[in-house]
Amino acid sequence: MSTDNFNDYVSSSFERLERRLNGHVNGPLHNLRRRALRQFIDVGIPTRRMEDWKYTSVINVINDAQFSSEKGAPAPAPAALPNEDVYHIVITPEGLDSAPFEADGLTVEVLTDELVIADERVRSTIGAILPIDTTPFVAMNTALHTTGVVIRITGNVTKPIHLDLIAHDASPDPLPSPRILVLASEHASATIVETVRSNPAAVLLPVCEIECQANAHLHWTRVLDDANNRHISAMAANVYGNGSVTVTTCIVDAAFVRNDVVIRLLEPGAQGFLFGVSVLDGQQFADNHTVVDHVMPHCHSEELYKGVYDDGSTGVFNGKIFVRQDAQKTTAYQSNRSLLLSPNAQVNAKPQLEIWADDVKCSHGATTGALDADAIFYLQARGIPKAEARRLLTMAFAMEVLERVPVESLRQSLERRMEQRLSR
């Protein structure tokens, strides 16, 4: 499908969506959708000529979703959170699959024009934390999202919040685009686990905006653990004084992933942590694009992305760190480490630091290599067969990120899944 054809598809999807909407054709959310549609039509689907998409070809992935007549089995129950007591929020292309609810320190609502009109905080954040010109897919999601959810965290939410994103077979929409807005109030805290149930005919295009007010702490873990996953997402967090946002991306199995994550540290003491681990084989592809923006002084950020690539799989890491002129006493550390298990696997790693302040501590490092032959021999000399030695060392490599997953049962199930993958 050409860019023009795809623009037509997006436009006609938008018209269909407009017909379904009752009233509010001039509501603020609807106007935002219209602007986003124009933005998308202007720019079109990204091509490899664009710097940020140089290594990532999306057109074929989108085409597969559009024209695939293949119908997979119904989406399975999420395996990622076994026996865990959670607040379960199920988001399907048709809407929120549970009634809006309110629990201790947590409120879940559907994003509507009414809500945007009534609520100043929603109005000032939706489409502002991730503006429509961020990427073409943010514009597309803003124009076409059929399910929007506003999650307010007002206290210390003790149970994990499970965001269960579903793109199932029954859906007529091959490009489901859930929209999520998380508003964490001062001193609030929560752990969010996002999982995806996909099928071979869909590409999921979620967009998440996060506002983390002073002294609030959010830990977001994203899990992709199904070989059917095709996922192009964007997430951004605005973090205020002494607040912190941690985003941990665990790609245990997925066909195609492009994750854009932006963290802005907007008041002194704000902290951002970005961790990621990808384990890929076959022709799988994962691209982590991150931006950490140090706007004010005395903020801290840490970034560690690790990847294990077998067969002909490909990893991309692009990590930008901006340290603005006012952001003195910034500490910002970035590390990207890749393990290539096959001569045909490849990684494109690009750290980018732009520093305008003069009193800062920043570092970045990228390494790519094979397993250490001395370490394999050492394990063999202790009786451990070579294949198991390789698996043990590979798991150890991945564990540095996995051990940061804050929900114990989730960490264990991810560990098991990863071990199974490395054994196959």
User: Which residues contact other proteins (rule: CB under 8 A)?
Assistant: 372-375, 377-386, 388-389, 392-393, 395-397, 399-400
Rounded to the nearest whole angstrom, what is the least distance from the CB of residue 367 to other proteins in the complex?
13
Asked if 202 and 169 count as a contact pair (C-beta separation under 8 A), the reply is: no
Dist. CA 421–CA 279, nearest whole Å: 8
Q: Which is nearer to other proteins, 343 or 383 (CB)?
A: 383
Q: Which is nearer to other proteins, 23 or 383 (CB)?
A: 383
Rounded to the nearest whole angstrom, what is the least distance from the CB of residue 382 to other proteins in the complex?
4
Rounded to the nearest whole angstrom, what is the least distance from the CB of residue 404 to other proteins in the complex?
13
Looking up tokens 């399907």 gives 92
Q: Which is nearer to other proteins, 355 or 392 (CB)?
A: 392
Residues 6+ apart with CB under 8 A from 416: none
Dist. CA 260–CA 290, nearest whole Å: 6
Nearest Cα to Cα of residue 162 among 217, 220, 104, 111: 220
Planar angle of CA 259, 262, 264, nearest 5 degrees: 170
Q: Which is nearer to other proteins, 61 or 252 (CB)?
A: 252
Dist. CA 20–CA 23, nearest whole Å: 10
Rounded to the nearest whole angstrom, what is the least distance from the CB of residue 313 to other proteins in the complex?
21
Rounded to the nearest whole angstrom, what is the least distance from the CB of residue 183 to other proteins in the complex?
37
Q: Which is nearer to other proteins, 251 or 339 (CB)?
A: 339
Rounded to the nearest whole angstrom, what is the least distance from the CB of residue 396 to other proteins in the complex?
3
Rounded to the nearest whole angstrom, what is the least distance from the CB of residue 257 to other proteins in the complex?
24
Dist. CA 418–CA 359, nearest whole Å: 41
Rounded to the nearest whole angstrom, what is the least distance from the CB of residue 365 to other proteins in the complex?
15
Q: What single string gives the DSSP state of each residue in 79-126?
A: -SSTT---EEEEEETTEESS--EEETTEEEEE--HHHHHH-HHHHHHT
- For the chain, report the end-to-end CA distance as a whole number of angstroms: 35
Q: Which is nearer to other proteins, 118 or 387 (CB)?
A: 387
Dist. CA 215–CA 375, nearest whole Å: 43
Q: Which is nearer to other proteins, 352 or 380 (CB)?
A: 380
Torsion (CA) 82, 84, 88, 92 in degrees, nearest 10:
-10
Dist. CA 344–CA 355, nearest whole Å: 36
Rounded to the nearest whole angstrom, what is the least distance from the CB of residue 63 to other proteins in the complex?
40
The first and second tokens of residue 392, run together, are 């043990």
Edge-to-edge strands of the sheet including 331-340?
95-96, 87-92, 161-166, 189-197, 217-225, 244-253, 271-280, 300-309, 331-340, 361-369
Q: Which is nearer to other proteins, 356 or 378 (CB)?
A: 378
Dist. CA 130–CA 128, nearest whole Å: 5
Q: Which is nearer to other proteins, 353 or 379 (CB)?
A: 379
Q: Which is nearer to other proteins, 86 or 252 (CB)?
A: 252
Dist. CA 363–CA 211, nearest whole Å: 27
Nearest Cα to Cα of residue 309 among 336, 287, 342, 351: 342
Q: Which is nearer to other proteins, 275 or 285 (CB)?
A: 275
- Under DSSP, the state recorded for 66 is H
Number of residues that this document lists for the chain: 424
Q: Is 421 helix (H, G, I), strand (E, B) or coil?
A: helix
Rounded to the nearest whole angstrom, what is the least distance from the CB of residue 400 to other proteins in the complex?
6
Rounded to the nearest whole angstrom, what is the least distance from the CB of residue 378 to other proteins in the complex?
4
